[in-house]
Amino acid sequence: MFFASDNTGPVAPEIMAALTQANSGYAMAYGNDQATTELTTRIREIFEAPDAVTYLVSTGTAANALALATLTQPWQAIFCSRDAHINVSEANAPEFFSAGAKLVAVDGPSGKIDPRALETAMSAIETGGLKNTQRGPVSLTQVTDFGAVYSLGELRAVTGVAKAFGAQCHMDGARFANALAALNVSPAEMSWKSGIDALSFGGTKNGLMGVDAVIFFDPAHAQEFQLRRMRGAHLLSKHRFLAAQMLAYLTDDLWLNLATRANAAAARLELALATVPELEFQHKRDANMIFARWPRHLHQRAKAAGAQYGPGQEGSPGGGGGDLLSARLVCNWVTTDAEIESFAALLRA
Amino acid sequence: MFFASDNTGPVAPEIMAALTQANSGYAMAYGNDQATTELTTRIREIFEAPDAVTYLVSTGTAANALALATLTQPWQAIFCSRDAHINVSEANAPEFFSAGAKLVAVDGPSGKIDPRALETAMSAIETGGLKNTQRGPVSLTQVTDFGAVYSLGELRAVTGVAKAFGAQCHMDGARFANALAALNVSPAEMSWKSGIDALSFGGTKNGLMGVDAVIFFDPAHAQEFQLRRMRGAHLLSKHRFLAAQMLAYLTDDLWLNLATRANAAAARLELALATVPELEFQHKRDANMIFARWPRHLHQRAKAAGAQYGPGQEGSPGGGGGDLLSARLVCNWVTTDAEIESFAALLRA
Amino acid sequence: MFFASDNTGPVAPEIMAALTQANSGYAMAYGNDQATTELTTRIREIFEAPDAVTYLVSTGTAANALALATLTQPWQAIFCSRDAHINVSEANAPEFFSAGAKLVAVDGPSGKIDPRALETAMSAIETGGLKNTQRGPVSLTQVTDFGAVYSLGELRAVTGVAKAFGAQCHMDGARFANALAALNVSPAEMSWKSGIDALSFGGTKNGLMGVDAVIFFDPAHAQEFQLRRMRGAHLLSKHRFLAAQMLAYLTDDLWLNLATRANAAAARLELALATVPELEFQHKRDANMIFARWPRHLHQRAKAAGAQYGPGQEGSPGGGGGDLLSARLVCNWVTTDAEIESFAALLRA
Amino acid sequence: MFFASDNTGPVAPEIMAALTQANSGYAMAYGNDQATTELTTRIREIFEAPDAVTYLVSTGTAANALALATLTQPWQAIFCSRDAHINVSEANAPEFFSAGAKLVAVDGPSGKIDPRALETAMSAIETGGLKNTQRGPVSLTQVTDFGAVYSLGELRAVTGVAKAFGAQCHMDGARFANALAALNVSPAEMSWKSGIDALSFGGTKNGLMGVDAVIFFDPAHAQEFQLRRMRGAHLLSKHRFLAAQMLAYLTDDLWLNLATRANAAAARLELALATVPELEFQHKRDANMIFARWPRHLHQRAKAAGAQYGPGQEGSPGGGGGDLLSARLVCNWVTTDAEIESFAALLRA
């Protein structure tokens, strides 16, 4: 009963095999290896983006912070959801890497940016003023931090506001594969065709050991990003082992298959939890995360039985007047039906 | 009819005289002059704070940013009003000088921090977590950016919340004298006796040429602050001219007299505007600033007649359905009754 | 006998008069005043540079750090003399404002950059490498920190090396007027016609109260510089008082007259000191600074008699085996013949 | 014939086995796993340091930059060898993570810091001054960037100077194991018993996939380091895979065995090269790196035959007047006698 996070699970066997295979003889360091070159080509094909450049790092926070720093001047604002990982779970990394840009929190449902709220926030910044923070990029999270998936229309509504202000758009796609599997659209449609300029393309939460990519659809960012990555100490010398993982991930639809399994497990968990009388869902499930709340005594019982999961949204007293505490439940490509059933049974009991 | 800001007015004649008097012979540079030493003593007397240390800079933003950077680690949050000058009018200077701390906007009436909202914001940060921003200092603005003055009780309610979390408190006192004149309390009461650890003590908006002080009530901050000031290029070599201004400012209650005049002018302006039928006040006036709104055509008339003032809160259509635009009107120690009358007459006509 | 620094002397009476004259009524804040506009025009005329943009700050360190930050990326090197003020006397301000660029110290005589040493240093940086610091701008100091003045030929030899690497050139002209008076060339010749892209144009060391300018000959830097200045808390609200000083400085050749007086005083001091048997000069005098050394007991006598001056180059035992200590002696526009004579007499005795 | 770097070789089979073994079920993320706890204990035993704290990152540059930032204030200097990796090969990462500290290059033989040169450099910084850079930590590289190993006496001579100034000491031990194997002393002797406060303990160059540790012997640094690591995006979520590698590395002396093999290969390469008539060694070999130079035509022949190695020290014409170009040759735990012989034969021919 392990629903704590999709970064607590194992590495997919295909990835382990790729690591073993890559571990033969010498390879040029710092990304000058053959696998890295292949990866660029593979990404261009998958994203239908012949000019895209791709860079690997070992954490999602590095992907986000380095990508955003490349798009942002220190005197600018980065607009993001109030609940965005970059705003609440990255220990000021975006501020650090951008040399002091300001994150402006925008409201919206289930961790999404509401386009009207974005327009209000971007309009509140005076054009041409020197004393105020300047407008910078917009960062969207897909899947959001409350488990929601933007539809293509929703994505484009947000990036449309950004573009109207001349702002570039970043997508934190730590769970890009989960969102893509949920929407059943193409990678291009969910990225550059929807106005995304820079993408944090996650792997770590979906079966890799610690590899996330940054993809820029405009190669003009290549040189600056590479210098920022090196200066940020995020260029791994034995880079072939990152590239080998990412290549295997993108082979035979492994990335989509893993994500589809995680999403399907979450769907089954949702069904099982729907039978718990005292539980209420807090957000609609779109991918592999469920946010729900239930009484304290059932939390105690679940924890006592060894269930692992994290707190959800803070401080959420139940609407009905009860003492409901919220939880975040994340499914993984290895989540089993047995786990799901045991967990639901605990809460139902 | 010049109500644009209290930093557009002239320098008080006593200050000009002090500059002339200071301009004689040689003086040690970088604050090693006699006037600077005297200033430290004077501040200690006025604030009843025998250990306080005082440093001069030439802008209020420097005072705020350097004081806050001294109190803040880069991975921390600075809690302030959503409308605080440090949050909206300093071009990310606090983020820059603190090497990337995050400003967390807290709601409250008329630019004040609501103590309950502060408690919520500070509680939302997980104690002991590594991934989230850490708690850092609280910054209050007195007079607030919407012209309100915290009572001592209100101040202490806010700093009390901060202290409960072990956080230090900074006061942006760009208009400290105006607030003090309004409350009629002692400098000690409105600062360290109300929980303030570091004070930006403004002079520029109240008759000086470009001098603001930072006062720490705990001298343990002295060395770090001085190094930050130097590294920030804010240590003036001909420092005697800053010290001479600040000493004259604090002589014979000049600072309070200038502020009292500005406040009184604003009170008279308020009375005059109360007779304008189509005008409504947006915030209660406490010191030398008035926020009000009135129809667009009256703005046009006022501007055409040469009145100078800035926009107030953005985009505020009138409650009654009209097309009301807001304005900020700031009085100064040189504001005349004639200006006030002419301006009100324009709007009444 | 005050030879400590040219920033310990008084403000020129013409400047005080300009301040008094500027102190009338209201003026738009933050550089939107009339004097600031006039200043831009005046600088363009004096420098024969119709596109130049000019910005004022209140310290020379701010001028240097903000100008360099505008020319430098954080992953680059700034090449400067080992003895440059930016390298040894600005408390890491260039590193701070540039978000972590590296200063690379280049050797040369009397605080100048030797062009061959510069070429070696710039060549040592691998073109196209990602792991090494990248090449950034070159910063020259005119007058150097050891009192030397680059001839036009020397300037162009250094900037020629820089240009061959595609690097921009900054001049720290804290004593620009002294150098210009010494060389008797035009401002244009000593700046953009010699390859300078950005100039810190000093005023504080030559009779102003605390005003230095940054001049960019290419206005493409204007917007970024202004945002950096604001974010660095170096945009003064009562900006008219900076502009008024700088305008008066540039009126009727005041700047050159003050510098000529300081240089002439130093020439007389040099003559007087040449008669001191136990004194030896360490650098050739070109402008208003003298570096010399003499026995410890004469230092003690001079200090006891109230002479003020600073240490020169550190730790310099005399070539002849004696115990010679070095000193830096700086003359000012107010240095008197009496001071000079008294001082030399002390050392001669 | 692959002598380009010890980061181009494969991962040791014991490490691959440890990864496979670690890849089972769930583990708490972000270092809250069992292996990480064990690692702390293991390091304390090996280093005879019961209070030491250990943190893992995925690059050596991250280890260096984060460790140094924890020991350094932004207004300080970091003293290091002119040739140190942190000074020439980390793209300003130390400056970035320290928020703008200055690296002061100190001379010495073969990449070592000369203690007298260090004393001169540290003395040149004025104690108590505000305008100059302040003294900060000293960073030594063991093995140095020119392949030399400090003896314990040499280490202590350098750290002794540092301690006399109250400065803390960091060791860049990217090749700590190679140095230890060469000296045949204990880890404690080569670290805290020789005055080292913080150690970058390398693994990547000695058979790991991308894991380096930072060890502080004083746990007072623990909290700040962890916050810096998170903010620097260097805390890996699937941390068990780093810990598993490092634990295996420290099991059954694997780390020392791998290093011993690399050193022994270099010794054999040195012997073989000594038979090349036109080759001269530039530095004494102490561990697994050789710096030598030979005529251009032999470089061409070697490259044409597929030999891989990097340039050594730049621009080194031969003493004898010939056209000698230098090279860096690095051996690895997988370097074979066949490679060595083929390479030497190429140069001999």
Predicted confidence at residue B319, as pLDDT, reads 39
Q: Report the residue of B87, B238, B328, B329 to disrupt the C interface, i.e. the one with the largest count of C CBs within 10 Å.
A: B238
Q: List the one residue out of C97, B197, C100 whose CA is nearest residue D72.
A: C100
Mind listing the pLDDT tens digit for each residue in C64-111?
A: 999 999 999 999 999 999 999 999 999 999 999 999 999 999 999 999
Question: To the nearest whole angstrom, how far is the Cα of A17 from the nearest Cα of chain D?
Answer: 10
Predicted confidence at residue B26, as pLDDT, reads 93
What are the distances in angstroms from CA A140 to CA A83, A85, A145, A166, B105? 11, 10, 10, 16, 21
One-letter amino acid at C42 equals R
Q: Report the residue of B236, B330, B335 to disrupt the C interface, i.e. the one with the largest count of C CBs within 10 Å.
A: B236
Q: Are D47 and D107 in contact (CB under 8 A)?
A: no
pLDDT, mean of residues A199-204: 98
From D32, which residue of chain A is nearest by alpha-carbon distance? Answer: A8
In the stretch 168-197 of chain B, residues with CB closer than 8 A to chain D read: none
Could you tell me the pLDDT band of residue A106, with boundaries at 50, 70 and 90?
A: very high
- D25 and A10 within 8 Å at the Cβ level: the answer is yes
Could you tell me the pLDDT band of residue C17, with boundaries at 50, 70 and 90?
A: very high
Look over chain D and give the mean of its residue pLDDT values, rounded to a whole number: 95
Q: Are D81 and D145 in contact (CB under 8 A)?
A: yes
From D97, which residue of chain B is nearest by alpha-carbon distance? Answer: B99
- A209 and D241 within 8 Å at the Cβ level: the answer is yes
Q: To the nearest 10°, the Cα dihedral for B153, B158, B163, B164?
A: 100
For helices A13-22 and D13-22, give the axis angle rounded to 10 degrees.
Answer: 170
Ordered strands of the B102-106 beta sheet: B53-57, B212-216, B198-201, B169-173, B134-141, B76-81, B102-106
pLDDT, mean of residues A108-114: 98
Tally of CB atoms within 10 A around A262: 28
Is the pLDDT score of A313 beyond 80? no
- C100 and D103 within 8 Å at the Cβ level: the answer is no
From D235, which residue of chain B is nearest by alpha-carbon distance? Answer: B131
From C234, which residue of chain A is nearest by alpha-carbon distance? Answer: A131
Express as a percent the part of chain B with pLDDT over 70.
97
- D102 and C92 within 8 Å at the Cβ level: the answer is yes
Mind listing the pLDDT tens digit for each residue in D88-112?
A: 999 999 999 999 999 999 999 999 9
In the stretch 141-170 of chain B, residues with CB closer than 8 A to chain D read: none
Q: Give me the residues paired with residue A295 across strands.
A: A324
Mind listing the pLDDT tens digit for each residue in C296-324?
A: 999 999 999 999 999 876 544 333 445 89
Region of poorest pLDDT, from A248-262, A298-312, B52-66, B155-169: A298-312
Mind listing the pLDDT tens digit for each residue in B265-282?
A: 999 999 999 999 999 999
Predicted confidence at residue D307, as pLDDT, reads 95
Is the pLDDT score of A329 beyond 80? yes
Predicted confidence at residue C316, as pLDDT, reads 41
Name the residue among C61, C204, C235 with its Cβ closest to that of B238: C204
d(CA B182, CA D259): 74
Could you tell me the pLDDT band of residue B238, with boundaries at 50, 70 and 90?
A: very high
**Domain positions in chain D:** 12-253, 255-348
Is the pLDDT score of A321 beyond 80? no
Mind listing the pLDDT tens digit for each residue in D314-338?
A: 544 333 445 899 999 999 999 999 9
Fold exhibited by the domain B12-253: Aspartate Aminotransferase; domain 2 (3.40.640)
Could you tell me the pLDDT band of residue A10, with boundaries at 50, 70 and 90?
A: very high
In the stretch 223-262 of chain B, residues with CB closer than 8 A to chain A read: none
What are the distances in angstroms from CA C77 to CA A58, C100, C132, C136, C164? 28, 9, 10, 5, 16
Is the pLDDT score of D64 beyond 70? yes
pLDDT, mean of residues A192-217: 98
Q: Report the residue of D127, D135, D231 to disrupt the B interface, i.e. the one with the largest count of B CBs within 10 Å.
A: D231
Q: Is the peptide bond before C143 cis (omega within 30 degrees of 0)?
A: yes
B76 at interface of D, judged by CB pairs closer than 8 A: no
> How far does Cα A143 stand from its chain's mean position?
6
Is the pLDDT score of B318 beyond 90? no
Could you tell me the pLDDT band of residue B296, with boundaries at 50, 70 and 90?
A: very high
Q: List the one residue out of B205, B189, B165 whose CA is nearest residue B64.
A: B205
Q: Report the residue of D28, D32, D131, D132 to disrupt the B interface, i.e. the one with the largest count of B CBs within 10 Å.
A: D131
Which subunits sit against B, judged by 3+ Cβ pairs under 8 A?
A: A, C, D
Express as a percent the part of chain D with pLDDT over 70.
97
Which subunits sit against C, judged by 3+ Cβ pairs under 8 A?
A: A, B, D
Tally of CB atoms within 10 A around C91: 28
Is the four-CA dihedral D125, D127, D130, D136 of positive or negative sign?
Answer: positive
ipTM of the complex: 0.96
Predicted confidence at residue A20, as pLDDT, reads 97
Query: What angle (nearest 5°) sits at the alpha carbon of residue D338, between those of residues D335 and D342?
Result: 110
Mind listing the pLDDT tens digit for each residue in C39-68?
A: 999 999 999 999 999 999 999 999 999 999
d(CA A281, CA A286): 12
Is the pLDDT score of A315 beyond 60? no
D70 at interface of A, judged by CB pairs closer than 8 A: no
Ordered strands of the D53-57 beta sheet: D53-57, D212-216, D198-201, D169-173, D134-141, D76-81, D102-106
pLDDT, mean of residues B31-39: 96
* Contacts of C298 by beta carbon, 8 Å cutoff, 6+ apart: C278, C279, C346, C347
Q: Are A276 and A343 in contact (CB under 8 A)?
A: no
Q: Are A220 and A192 in contact (CB under 8 A)?
A: no
Contacts of B123 in chain A (CB under 8 A): 314-315
Look over chain C and give the mean of its residue pLDDT values, rounded to a whole number: 95
Express as a percent the part of chain C with pLDDT over 70.
97
Q: List the one residue out of A178, A138, A204 whose CA is nearest residue A262.
A: A178
Supply C27's token pair: 């003026």
Is the pLDDT score of B322 beyond 70? no
Question: To the nearest whole angstrom, how far is the Cα of A203 from the nearest Cα of chain B?
Answer: 19
Mind listing the pLDDT tens digit for each residue in D124-166?
A: 998 889 999 999 999 999 999 999 999 999 999 999 999 999 9
Using the structure block, give the residue that is written with the tokens 């402008």: C287
Is the pLDDT score of A264 beyond 70? yes
Mind listing the pLDDT tens digit for each residue in C152-167?
A: 999 999 999 999 999 9
Is the pLDDT higher at B176 or at A313?
B176
Could you tell me the pLDDT band of residue C337, with boundaries at 50, 70 and 90?
A: very high
The correct CATH number of B255-348 out of 2.60.120.10, 3.40.50.150, 3.30.43.10, 3.90.1150.10 is 3.90.1150.10
Is the pLDDT higher at B317 or at D256?
D256
Could you tell me the pLDDT band of residue A128, with boundaries at 50, 70 and 90?
A: confident
Question: To the nearest whole angstrom, how far is the Cα of C99 from the nearest Cα of chain A?
Answer: 7
- A133 and B88 within 8 Å at the Cβ level: the answer is yes
From D62, which residue of chain A is nearest by alpha-carbon distance? Answer: A233
* Contacts of C85 by beta carbon, 8 Å cutoff, 6+ apart: C60, C61, C64, C141, C145, C172, C174
Is the four-CA dihedral C216, C221, C222, C226 of positive or negative sign?
Answer: negative
Predicted confidence at residue B317, as pLDDT, reads 38
Tally of CB atoms within 10 A around A75: 27
Is the four-CA dihedral D249, D250, D254, D256 of positive or negative sign?
Answer: positive
